[in-house]
Amino acid sequence: MTTLHTATPHSPLELRDRLAMERTRLANERTLLAYLRTGMTLVIAGFSLINFFRNNVYVWVGVLFVPMGVVISVVGWFRYRVRARHIEQYVAAADALA
């Protein structure tokens, strides 16, 4: 998903440390996908409520779901980027110490 992988096979980190970093990266990507899945679900549910129901309560709930889904997706993306940078900094520091 990203090109932030610095723990290469020629890295001074031990194998178990490289594998742990890779598991951490994959967990970060899975978390991003969960945020995006939740955001998309809210947006789709919002548009469905707006289009298929004419009762004011359902329309207003749908109007609330759409921006809430977009906000959740954006927050998830920013959290992913922050965590990815922290992971990369940790790997770079560990490579420098080893």
In a domain, 92, yes or no: yes
In a domain, 10, yes or no: no
The label of the residue with tokens 């959290």 reads 79
Token representation of residue 38: 């939740």
Token representation of residue 16: 């178990």
Count other C-beta atoms under 10 Å from residue 95's C-beta.
15
Closest CA to 6 of 97, 93, 76: 93
Least confident range from 11-15, 42-46, 53-57, 86-90: namely 11-15
Specify the pLDDT at position 94.
82
In a domain, 8, yes or no: no
Identify which has the larger pLDDT, 44 or 17.
44
- The pTM (predicted TM-score) of the whole model is 0.81
In a domain, 9, yes or no: no
In the chain, the number of structural domains is: 1
